[in-house]
Structure 1
Amino acid sequence: MPFRFRSVILLAGLLYAGVALAGEVRAPKGVVELFTSQGCSSCPPADATLGNLAAQGDVVALSYHVDYWNYLGWTDTLSSRENTERQYGYAKTLGRSGVYTPQAIINGRDHVKGTDISVINSKIMELGAAGKGLIVPVTAAMRGDQIEIEIGAGKGQADVVVAYFTKHQQVEVTKGENSGKNMEYWHAVYDVQSVGTWDGQSMKLTLPGKLMGKSKKDGCAILLQASGPGGEPAAILGATILMAGRKKY
């Protein structure tokens, strides 16, 4: 078979499989939000799983460090009260009386323990098959020094939420349950902002690109997310992710 013909076949296969070319991948099949802590001895396997999910290229994978384990002797360097409040908001949405780590929230609709990637992927597929997947198209791109977001049409009403994260970090923990470990974290969220409201009609938004941070390792996820009566986070209808220095993801 001529080399040129083989190359064409290979390129077509990559495009069909949704493999990233020039920083682009297919639309994500789900959103995984991991609630974790540097002070939680059972969290390191889940943190590794989150990294593997991020590497899949077909999932919006985000890590939220909570602060309620800080009393155990180590203050999580990535934790925030806002992350804890987001997890408790999900507990209210899901009708739960409490929270735990490592907890993975899938599409804002269900939860599983965050350590098993096969269980997480199965839950994503299950929700998709039940019509509870990412049903509204969302895209984002860097245009000069601005972030341009496009959201398709659909049914319902939702907030346009942007979660800013750092792509990869390493933290040396010197106290607490993970004392002596050099921890590795992916897509740790450091800020969440609501930037607009979607009413079922297609829309476009433009944001300052400087909000994504100065580091080329930073990125953001755009979530089209419904909310409960008290403003608590609920079902995610669409999502995408954008890395600094890339045209599109």
Structure 2
Amino acid sequence: MMKLNGIAAAGVALAALVTAALLPVAPAAAGAGQPKDVMHPCPVLVELYTSQGCNTCPPADVLLEQLDAREDVIGIAFHVDYWDYLGWKDSFALDSNAPRQRAYAKAMEQSYVYTPQAVVDGLGHFNGSDKRAIDRAIDDAKMMATVALKTTWDGRDRIHVDLPESGSQTVGPGLARGAAIWLAGVDGAREVPIARGENAGKTLRYSNIVRSMERLGEWDGMAARVTIDAGALRAAGREKAVVMVQAPDMGRIIGAAEIRLDSAPGS
């Protein structure tokens, strides 16, 4: 397992691909648009921290694609750049990805960051290749309360994401108030020939790659609506949008939704 000593202060670069607004909305009728699991109505979010320059990462990259195929999981890959010095620059790494991972390390009192690392619903971290441990963590995450995010299309270029009033569901106001609302623009599967570094000579497949990340605002626990500019994301080449609601201070994920950008009416 590869690891890097030291914890740095977190900072997330803002992308300019999305138009978003937090608007109050009337509370939805009980059960409207919600999955059957009342306690955990949204999929579990698995974040994989990986690198094209990491020779232990390919099995984790394969596992992430398998996890994302499940209905009860959203799997996304954050490529980091701190292994670029080994001879290969990761073509998918964002400047904001390693700071996000280090912020998790600080919140979870880790003394280092590493790849491949899977963070499950913001609750714990695991070797990204350890399917058994990740499966157990997904099952454990389902015991934690989350909120249902309802997504609707407004034409082809706008997506509304409705957040319920926290008091109407099982997540209390202590977690909801000050929760960060994140939007990730995500690519599907890509194959990359690696010319140098630890994976030199291999052509590796990556999936669900985070290519943009923006903090849209904070949730105050009241019913609200976020509007996403899907047209701008598609124009930038993105295939999916993933919305995450995260408890303050890099806490657990209390809501998540994945939207395929080719699922718009008329697509």
TM-score tier after normalising by the smaller chain length:
0.7 to 0.9
Q: Distance in 2 between matches of 1:222 and 1:136?
A: 12
| Residue equivalent to 1:152 | 164
Q: Distance in 1 between matches of 2:201 and 2:153?
A: 40
Q: Distance in 1 between matches of 2:239 and 2:139?
A: 28
**Aligned residues, how many?**
218
| Residue equivalent to 1:136 | 147
Is 1:113 matched up with 2:124?
no
Determine which of 232, 239, 248 is the counterpart of 1:218: 239
Q: Distance in 1 between matches of 2:50 and 2:232?
A: 24
| Residue equivalent to 1:37 | 51
Tell me by how many angstroms 1:85 deviates. Answer: 0.7
- The letter for the 2-side match of 1:245 is D
Higher RCO (CA < 8 A, seq sep 6+): 2
Once the two structures are superposed, residues 169-188 of structure 1 have per-residue CA deviations (whole angstroms, 9 ceiling, x without a partner) of: 11110111111111111110
Tell me by how many angstroms 1:215 deviates. Answer: 6.9
Which residues of structure 1 form unaligned runs of 5+? 1-16, 19-25
Is 1:74 matched up with 2:88?
yes
Q: Distance in 1 between matches of 2:57 and 2:48?
A: 10
Q: Distance in 2 between matches of 1:203 and 1:191?
A: 23
Q: How does 1:79-118 map to 2 (within 5 A)?
A: 79-118=93-132
Determine which of 195, 204, 212 is the counterpart of 1:174: 195
Aligned CA distance change for structure 1 residues 206 and 29 (closer, same or farther; 3 Å): closer
| Residue equivalent to 2:258 | 241
Aligned CA distance change for structure 1 residues 215 and 208 (closer, same or farther; 3 Å): closer
Give the TM-score normalised by structure 1.
0.82
Aligned-partner SS, 2:255: strand
Once the two structures are superposed, residues 46-79 of structure 1 have per-residue CA deviations (whole angstroms, 9 ceiling, x without a partner) of: 0000000111122111100000000001001111
Q: Distance in 1 between matches of 2:229 and 2:248?
A: 25
Q: Is contact 2:42-2:148 (8 Å) kept?
A: no
Is 1:198 matched up with 2:209?
no
Aligned CA distance change for structure 1 residues 117 and 153 (closer, same or farther; 3 Å): farther
Task: Give the % identical residues.
Answer: 33
Determine which of 55, 61, 64 is the counterpart of 1:47: 61
Q: Is contact 2:185-2:238 (8 Å) kept?
A: no
Tell me by how many angstroms 1:28 deviates. Answer: 3.8
Superposed CA RMSD in Å reads 2.1
- The letter for the 2-side match of 1:208 is D
Tell me by how many angstroms 1:217 deviates. Answer: 6.0
